[in-house]
Amino acid sequence: MTSEIVRVRYKGQVTIPQSLRERLEIGEGDYLSCELHGDSLVIRKIPAFRQSSYNDGIWNLIGTAEDKEGCTDISENKYRYLGEKS
């Protein structure tokens, strides 16, 4: 188990050592989960999910079913579900 000492700064901020960030591939903007286990603080990286795109193949599959509003081709209305395309 890798262990490093860090110092708590103003407002409870700590810096995760570079060697650990590289090993876990933690970068700016990533989210971490903090859990208390007895007297230990466990920090875990939360996996990132790719944002849905207008060109995702899922729209072809979804469009083959009828939704609750009676639309038979949801893929044609994907902009309504994802917002206006910019």
Q: Where are the domains of the chain?
A: 10-45, 50-86
pTM of the model: 0.53
Would you state the pLDDT for residue 62? 63
The answer to whether 69 touches 80, Cβ cutoff 8 Å, is no
Asked whether residue 12 carries a pLDDT value surpassing 90, the answer given is yes
The per-residue pLDDT for range 22-81, each reduced to its tens digit, is: 999 999 989 999 999 999 999 999 987 766 666 777 666 665 556 566 665 665 666 666
